[in-house]
Structures are given as structure tokens and as C-alpha cells.
Structure 1
Amino acid sequence: MKKDRGKVWLGVAGIVINEEGKWLVVKKKYSGLKGMWSLPAGFVQYGETADEAVVREVGEETGIQCEVTGLIGFRTGVIRGEISDNMAIFCCRPTSERQNILIQEMELSDARWLTVEEIAASGEASVMLEEMACHELVQHQLYKKDGINPGDIFEYSAYRLFYNK
């Protein structure tokens, strides 16, 4: 069953990098990314921030628990001249020693830790993933700042700022 997301979509993706410098990549069983290496990703749900959504999506798809360290990029496009498709791409790191992947079999056919060289040379990477694997992204991330209150009048239940230090 396809969820009605309206005509403005906000998705998230996580570049989860382990201590060996390998990236967590997945192969979806559906959509235009079927059979291609891509990042764990999904849509922001009501009542959550984009960075909370990426942690949830990575955990749901791969069983890997992680934390957001920064924002790497933002992809935006328009589908068929009518749907605004936007994706925040976060840099993450695993939060536990366990790095055994438990894939969500309904959505994924495979998930692995790969080096950027393996991703770039695979011939099976999505256009976005291949482009990102060819650059030193971590050096250019925007860092997360918690604990900011923009004023009680706005009634935020969660608020984070990502900026260049």
C-alpha cells in the first residue's frame, strides 16, 4: 500500500561510516534503485525531525544503530513536473560494537559494509551514491548543534541546527 505523501516529499539518507572507513550500503527490492547499491533511506514521518528519521530508517533497514554526526548534503528535484522530491543526506556513525547487518527482507535484497573504492568500482551503485563515493564528503559536513531554543513562542518539541564550524 502506497502512502499518500502529497506533492512535497522529505526523505533522508544516511552515510553510516564504521571505524574501518567502510560505508553501509543497501540494495532495494523495488523502485528505480532495485538491485543498485544505495544508502539506507526513507521518509520523515509526522512528529520526528529529519535526523531522528535517518537513525530510525538505518535501524529498520539494517539493524545497525547509529547517531548523526553531521549533514553531508541535500538532494532536491521535481518528478514529472509536479512532485517536489527532497532528501537530506546525513553522516552517521554506528553506536555499538556490533556491526552485524540484519536486513529488512521486505525492502532489501542485500546490505554490506563497502569501501568507497568498492562502491565506485562496483558498477552497481546508484548515481547519487557513486557521485558521493568519489569525493571526501566527511571533511565538508555541517555539524549538529543541540540544545538551542529559538524561543518558546514557536513551541518546538525538537530543534537542531546544522552549520559549518
Structure 2
Amino acid sequence: MAGRGNVWLGAAGLVVSKNGEWLVVKKKYGGLKGVWSLPAGFVNEGETVDEAAVREVREETGVCCTVKGMVGLRTGVIRSEISDNMVIFLMEPEENNSITIQETELSEAKYMLPEELIREEKASVMLQYLLNLKESSVKPAINGVDPGSHFQYIAYKLFL
């Protein structure tokens, strides 16, 4: 992964199973250590943000997913110097996906019903806000858009 500098771009996956359970993880490090949060990580060079979300969920939990749409954006500034941005995607797990945690990063990963997460003392602030998510607020991908060959995009999607 290339250096991030002072502008960070991350991707997170809100993975919802067929029975409505959310895939949540507990990191072993950082500000979310020991707190239920979404699988997430930084966008790598040469990938779209939604591709990064799919990759991060797979790397951290072993769960392969399909992106259903964009849920929102989390943006902030750390210590007046780092622009920290994360795009959150609603995702659906593929059939017969068991969880295999990335032990270097995670202490735990499991599916939980939103009602269970409400009662959890150790749930991230973002998860608490996502509990109020309305399906109508999910923005599906618009594929096949051509902004013009002069831009030389190899991938181009809109989430509107």
C-alpha cells in the first residue's frame, strides 16, 4: 500500500445477512480496539472505493460480498492535520460464507442482530447511527457511465 499522507480514504462494509444480522468486528488496535465496528480499511491504488470495501470485508472476515449501494460518508479531521474519510457501503454476503477472522487485525467477528447491537456497551458511534438507516437512503451504483475517453478511466461508477 502506498503512503497515505495527510488525506486518508477508507471503505467500510455494512454486511447484512438474509435474516437481518450485521457482520461486526472487534479490532486489536487503534481507537476501535475492543469495540464492535464494521470491517473497514484503506483504499489501495488502482481500486474504486466499493472494490476496497469488498476486499477489506473479505480480508478481515473471509466473507465474500456483493455491494448493494452506498450508505454514506464519514469525514473528519484528526489533530488539525489529517483529513480522514470513509465511504460506507451496504453489502450482501454470498451464500455459504463462514467467518474466518484475520487474526493479526481482529480479536472477534460475528453476525449480530441490530437489536443486539443496541444493547452493546462497546459499539462504535457510527454503528449506533447506522441503526437508524432507512433502506430508501441507500444509493445504488450506476455502472456503464462514460465520462469521455480523454479522462482515461478504467473504472467509473456513480452512487447517486
TM (norm. structure 2) is: 0.96
CA distance in 2, matches of 1:50, 1:154: 18
Structure 2 counterparts to residues 1-165 of structure 1, below 5 A: 4-95=3-94, 97-133=95-131, 135-163=132-160
CA distance in 2, matches of 1:33, 1:131: 16
Contact 2:2/2:44 (<8 A) preserved: no
TM (norm. structure 1) is: 0.94
How far is the alpha carbon of 1:114 from its aligned partner? 0.5
**Structure 1 unaligned spans of 5+:** none
Flag as ranges the 4+ runs of structure 1 deviating above 4 A: none
Contact 2:21/2:114 (<8 A) preserved: yes
SS at match of 1:142: coil
SS at match of 1:81: coil
How far is the alpha carbon of 1:69 from its aligned partner? 0.9
CA distance in 1, matches of 2:32, 2:134: 22
**Structure 2 unaligned spans of 5+:** none
Residue correspondences, number? 160
Contact 1:91/1:138 (<8 A) preserved: no
* Residue identity in the other structure for 1:116: P
Q: Deviations over 1:1-44 (max 9, x none)?
A: x9731000000100001100111000000001000000000000
* Residue identity in the other structure for 2:135: V
* Residue identity in the other structure for 2:66: E
Contact 2:8/2:85 (<8 A) preserved: yes
With 100-109 and 137-146 compared, the bigger mean Cα shift is at 137-146
Contact 1:72/1:137 (<8 A) preserved: no
CA distance in 2, matches of 1:116, 1:153: 46
How far is the alpha carbon of 1:79 from its aligned partner? 0.2
- Superposition RMSD in Å: 1.3
Contact 1:14/1:41 (<8 A) preserved: yes
CA distance in 2, matches of 1:55, 1:6: 23
CA distance in 2, matches of 1:100, 1:152: 41
